[in-house]
Amino acid sequence: MKLPFIIIIDDDPQVLRAIQRDVRSKFREEYKVLAADSAVEALEAIKELKLKKETVALFISDQRMPQMDGTTFLEGAKEFFPEAKKVLLTAYSDTEAAIKAINTLKLDYYLLKPWNPPEEKLYPIILDLLEDWQNNFIPQFQGIKVIGYQWSPLSHRIKDFLTGNLIPYKWLDVELNDEAKELVNTHKIESAELPCVLFEDDVLLKCPEEIDVAKKIGLKSNASNDLYDVVIIGAGPAGLAAAVYGGSEGLKTLMIEKKAPGGQAGTSSRIENYLGFPSGLSGADLTRRALTQASRFGVEFLSPCQVVNINTKDNYKILSLSNGPEIKTQTIIISTGVDYNTLDAKGMSELTGAGVYYGSTTAEAHSCKGKDVFIVGGGNSAGQAAMYLSGFAKNVFIVIRRDSLNSTMSRYLIDQIDKSKNISLITDSVVVEVIGKNSLECITLENIQTHVRKTSESGALFIFIGAKPTTDWIQLDILKDPKGYIETGRELFKHKNFKKIWKLERDPLLLETCIPGIFSAGDVRAGAMNRVASAVGEGAMAIKLVHEYMAGL
């Protein structure tokens, strides 16, 4: 197998020798290291590598070079290997240029010279970047293939399920792709049997449900213990943080997720404000890291598996699942987050999944290539989606009811949108109709001031309009606010029937619901902050409170 390249550029021969030596000594078994003292010559060499179908995993470039500075070099190199990670070698005085490059060039890291000792200041950074590159890099495709019609809602569900569960796959549109046509012939697949999922071992699933695919790829849907210390319901940031802390603190921990880990954050193409990641990170990356961390600490994870009810029996809690037997636990953390509100417009039920999508952009972004697409919503999630889709679509239109984004979106995103040439804002407007025979073709917008309607061609519509708490599955008498968010801690006292339900002498703990030992964390909790960091914080706090509760049993 061909080894991928790490390319290093520095015009100072001493620095070049030093970094080449350090990188080579650690990474030479898995990567070829190519060093050059001229950015211009290096760009020529990179062009050659591209022609020879080689791969580059990482560029490390000095910033101050006479013919071409590092950011310009990386910009040029990115043209040939857009997936490669980019690191700038800087002196302290260049940090401003490096920070600028994080925004303009999507620089992955800037490394301050000198980097001694490399074991501390160089290797962990490079290892992390290369691991990230490996996870997203798909060489000649050998893995799962999904064959189907682009506009079939079931095709969308399968793609969304695989994307959400971080399983790489190749999408083959049966109407456009020769490989798809060939596979359909070889496997004698009828149109009505599409979509199909073809696995590496040649097993073919026709029109599968998510659960069938999950079983085949080895996701777990049955718990292995009779009793847990804590069961976490929902694997968004709050649930994942609770899992990591629960596992690391020795609690017998089970996490259950109905769809895909990562929750709302998992659908984000780029989270830019999460502490410690100055270049931002994708929701998929955050999820992958958190899941790895949780499983390292022995946390069990069931997915896809929906908790359909919870009950109490003596001091135990009993969970009923959509599939599989009941589960018994001492404590529960409900971190089921929120779901998008549905858009009320003519034609929605027919076209959802066939050009009209709630929340998900990553699974369908490629199908937007060269088309005009619309996004409904003015929050950060809509802004991130617009930025992401602008890399694929011809034009992206953001439709909002208000007259500006100022009160609903973060400044950094508004600035990015303002600078994007192919994103436009349509204010004071709502979608009244989506039109299409088999898939979305046009949408009709109405200006709420003038009531003038306009129909435009549209390749896709992505909806990000507000959210409602995912609590309708709870039949147990857990106190909620009028909107359905779970009340916890001192906020419970304002409910007049709280005293009737709560029979302990102590007050409820900070994130405890009105049922002792059942906690709630993240967006599903009344008063939550709707941020990744706050959900993570609450997940971690909930475990501390689980310990406190168990100590008092």
Ligand X SMILES: Cc1cc2nc3c(=O)[nH]c(=O)nc-3n(C[C@H](O)[C@H](O)[C@H](O)COP(=O)(O)OP(=O)(O)OC[C@H]3O[C@@H](n4cnc5c(N)ncnc54)[C@H](O)[C@@H]3O)c2cc1C
Q: Give the binding site for ligand X (CB under 6 A).
A: 233-239, 256-259, 263-265, 267-268, 271-273, 306-307, 335-338, 359, 380-381, 384, 470, 473, 522-524, 530-533, 535
CB 295, min distance to ligand X, A: 17
- Nearer to ligand X by Cβ, of 455 and 475: the residue is 475
Closest residue by Cα to residue 461 from 135, 131, 59, 151: 151
- CB 371, CB 393: distance < 8 Å: yes
CB 144, min distance to ligand X, A: 22
- Nearer to ligand X by Cβ, of 251 and 524: the residue is 524
Strand order in the sheet with 453-457: 429-435, 442-447, 453-457
Q: Can you tell me the distance from the alpha carbon of 301 to that of 261, in angstroms, rounded to the nearest whole number? A: 10
CB 218, min distance to ligand X, A: 19
Q: What angle do CA 537, 541, 546 make, to 5 degrees?
A: 150
Q: Beta strands 460-463 and 453-457: pairing type?
A: unpaired
Q: Can you tell me the distance from the alpha carbon of 24 to that of 56, in angstroms, rounded to the nearest whole number? A: 15
CB 537, min distance to ligand X, A: 11
CB 238, min distance to ligand X, A: 3
- Nearer to ligand X by Cβ, of 122 and 332: the residue is 332
CB 91, min distance to ligand X, A: 31
Strand ranges (DSSP E) for 359-496? 372-376, 395-399, 423-426, 429-435, 442-447, 453-457, 460-463, 467-469
Closest residue by Cα to residue 282 from 496, 199, 290: 290
The DSSP annotation for 353-394 comes to TTTEEES--TTTGGGGTTSEEEEE--SHHHHHHHHHHTTTSS
The runs of H, that is alpha helices, within 28-58 are 39-51
- Nearer to ligand X by Cβ, of 304 and 516: the residue is 304
CB-based contacts of 335: which residues, under 8 Å, 6+ apart? 232, 233, 234, 235, 236, 238, 239, 242, 520, 521, 522, 524, 535, 538, 539, 542
- Nearer to ligand X by Cβ, of 76 and 537: the residue is 537
CB 148, min distance to ligand X, A: 24
- Nearer to ligand X by Cβ, of 148 and 247: the residue is 247
- Nearer to ligand X by Cβ, of 116 and 323: the residue is 323
Q: Which two tokens stand for residue 46?
A: 């990179």
- Nearer to ligand X by Cβ, of 90 and 362: the residue is 362
529 by DSSP, 3-state: which? Answer: coil
CB 495, min distance to ligand X, A: 22
